[in-house]
Structure 1
Amino acid sequence: MKYVFWLTVFFWWAMDFYILVLKRNSYSKILDKKSKFIVTILILLGVALAVGPENFRAVWRSRDFGLFQVVGTFVVLTGVILRLFAILTLGEYFAPDIAVKSDKKLIQRGLYKKIRHPSYTGEIIAFIGLAIVFQHIPASIYISILPTLAFVYRAFVEEQKLAQEFGDEFIEYKKRTRMFI
């Protein structure tokens, strides 16, 4: 089961690295760049505090992969799969920045039919899964709370920008959907 955990984490982080660093699309209008920086800092801070010197032994000590680690692994996997489906649903409209293409379109199908931010929801779920795997209260708090705050902040910024871009269409969409699960 440890291998499933590490493969899941590797796939998750490789996917996010690709999205943040390597994915370059042409967008006619980038609406916000600052929030991506803030999200990245909060995630890195959460990870650094969770696995840093003070918590390192408690989090990474050699132990059997017990029930909490199995459950946590499946929670991480669920979050990663949710994020992947959200990205695939957006297709060419997905961007690491809050941006719109020249043929701007508010996607309201698939996961986006019920949830406005399934990609961020997937990330939050995955970080909560890591917290379950860690089984160490301080590390679990850092690895789950800071990224969650980051994605909630990002969702609020994105919603302000989308409301400006799409007006009444976004307001109506917002009324019939949830921000997260």
Structure 2
Amino acid sequence: RALFIFWRAHVDLGLNWSPSLEIREKHELITKGIYKLIRHPMYASQWLWVIAQPLLLQNWVAGFLNLLIFIPFYFLRVQAEEKMMLDSFGEEYKNYMQKTGGVIPKF
């Protein structure tokens, strides 16, 4: 499921996808596909991988180390990304934030 979520996010973003935090020329706010449910599906898929690793690896220490490394990265990156999106899309992004969850859908 994690790999499917990651793939689906890439497909839905299309040319807007970037490995770095940047707003490209003609960048648009994507709110369709998996982005209709959550704002950060790639991070959701990474959470699934990181949580599954300690359960799947024979070495629990290595599995939990991945989790400890990922947690601060996640919070720093998402905070910067949310600020960038708010600066770029303003009220439209605020409305989108109210309708969707970050990595877990709002029901």
Where on the TM-score scale, by shorter chain, does this alignment land: which range? 0.7 to 0.9
Taking only aligned residues, the RMSD between alpha carbons, in angstroms, comes to: 1.4
Displacement of 1:123 in angstroms is: 1.3
Amino acid at match of 1:116: R
Amino acid at match of 1:115: I
What residue in structure 1 maps to residue 31 of structure 2? Answer: 108
Q: Does 1:89 align with 2:12?
A: yes
Displacement of 1:79 in angstroms is: 1.2
Q: Does 1:157 align with 2:80?
A: yes
Q: Secondary structure at the match of 1:155?
A: helix
Any gaps of 5 or more consecutive residues in structure 1? 1-77
Which deviates more from structure 2 when the two are superposed, residues 147-156 or residues 116-125? 147-156
Mapping for residues 30-179 of structure 1, pairs under 5 Å:
78-179=1-102
Amino acid at match of 1:88: V
Residues 9-49 of structure 1, C-alpha deviation per residue, up to 9 Å, x if partnerless? Answer: xxxxxxxxxxxxxxxxxxxxxxxxxxxxxxxxxxxxxxxxx
User: Distance in 2 between the 1:168 and 1:124 partners?
Assistant: 28
Residues 43-75 of structure 1, C-alpha deviation per residue, up to 9 Å, x if partnerless? Answer: xxxxxxxxxxxxxxxxxxxxxxxxxxxxxxxxx
What residue in structure 2 maps to residue 3 of structure 1? Answer: none
How many pairs does the alignment contain? 104
Q: Which one has the largest radius of gyration?
A: 1
Amino acid at match of 2:9: A
Amino acid at match of 2:97: K
User: Distance in 1 between the 2:49 and 2:4 partners?
Assistant: 9
Q: Which runs of 4+ in 1 moved over 6 A?
A: none
TM-score by length of structure 1 reads: 0.54
User: Distance in 2 between the 1:104 and 1:134 partners?
Assistant: 40
User: Distance in 2 between the 1:125 and 1:152 partners?
Assistant: 16
Displacement of 1:135 in angstroms is: 4.5
Residues 142-162 of structure 1, C-alpha deviation per residue, up to 9 Å, x if partnerless? Answer: 122321331232111100111
User: Distance in 2 between the 1:79 and 1:148 partners?
Assistant: 17
Amino acid at match of 2:62: A
CA contact (8 A) 1:115 1:177 kept: yes
Q: Secondary structure at the match of 2:22?
A: strand
